[in-house]
Amino acid sequence: MRLELQGLRLAYPGAGLATISDLDLVAEKGSLTALLGPSGSGKTTVMKLIAGHLSPDAGDIRLGDRSLLGLPPEKRRVAMVFQDPLLFPHLTLAGNVGFGLRLRGLPPARIAADVEAMLARVQLAGLGDRRPHQLSGGQQQRAALARALVLRPDLLLLDEPSVGVDPLSRRSPALTRASATRCAA
């Protein structure tokens, strides 16, 4: 779906200057768009605005033919993977990846199949029973990616997705393909 940001503006309370000031951006359906900028320039803030974790002071966020403004994060069909994996510590790896699927009320057999297929795509096959603390940093980051990808969101937001991923995994064709095909939502 086409993403369009129109005149987006946000100033954190107490901050002198606006963090985001009149931002216009268009990302076409099926495209991969990268936000580049120095630390503190507002890349994560823009993603939080799109995902619904922050509300803009002005402007509009449109995905396809609908405005996302006023919609809570869970109704936007926008999945965000944060810089830290933020895996749920009380769930297994499979439980984490199947979290969103369970919320959709899918049958357990379908969830198990989707989770297994997704774990294989991010090279974590056979580790479904492990707890997050039993995984390496790179494995945790890939698990977080799998947890978002398995939902087939309309838009996937990745906040510095290669942080914590080891160099070999970063270049892994399977991982790149897994992200890229879903980014092209």
Partner 1 sequence: MRAETWRLLAGVLVALALVLPLVPLAIWSGAHGWRYPDLLPQQWSGKAWTLALSDRGGVVESLGLTLTIAIATTALAALVGVPAGRALGLYDFRGKRLILLLLLAPAILPGIALVLGLHDLFLRLGLVGTTGGVILAHLVPVLPYMTLVMAAVFAGFDTRIEAQARSLGAGPLRTFATVTLPVILPGLLTGALFAFLVSWSQYLLTLAIGGGRVQTLPLVLYSYAAAGRNDVAGAIALIYILPGLAILLFTASRVTGRGFGAVLRP
Please identify, using beta-carbon distances, which residue of 91 and 127 lies nearer to partner 1.
91
Minimum distance, C-beta of residue 121 to partner 1, in the bound complex (Å)? 18
For 173, counting Cβ atoms within 10 Å of its Cβ (0-12 exposed, 13-18 middle, 19+ buried), the class is exposed
How far from the centroid of its chain's Cα atoms is residue 180's Cα? Answer: 12
Element (H, E) at 3: strand 3-10
71 scored as a contact of partner 1 (CB under 8 A): no
Which of 6, 21, 35, 73 lies at the binding interface for partner 1 (CB under 8 A)? 73
Of 59, 19, 64, 24, residue with least CA distance to 43: 19
Interactions with partner 1, residue window 84-113 (CB under 8 A): 84, 86, 88-90, 99-100, 103-104
133 scored as a contact of partner 1 (CB under 8 A): no
Please provide the size of the chain in residues: 185
C-alpha span between 61 and 78 (Å, rounded): 12
For 17, counting Cβ atoms within 10 Å of its Cβ (0-12 exposed, 13-18 middle, 19+ buried), the class is exposed
147 scored as a contact of partner 1 (CB under 8 A): yes
Q: Is 147 in contact with 99 (CB distance < 8 Å)?
A: yes
178 scored as a contact of partner 1 (CB under 8 A): no
Which of 10, 63, 78, 94 lies at the binding interface for partner 1 (CB under 8 A)? 78
Minimum distance, C-beta of residue 173 to partner 1, in the bound complex (Å)? 26
Please identify, using beta-carbon distances, which residue of 23 and 82 lies nearer to partner 1.
82
79 scored as a contact of partner 1 (CB under 8 A): yes
Q: Which residues bind partner 1 (CB under 8 A)?
A: 48, 51-53, 72-74, 78-80, 82, 84, 86, 88-90, 99-100, 103-104, 147-148, 151
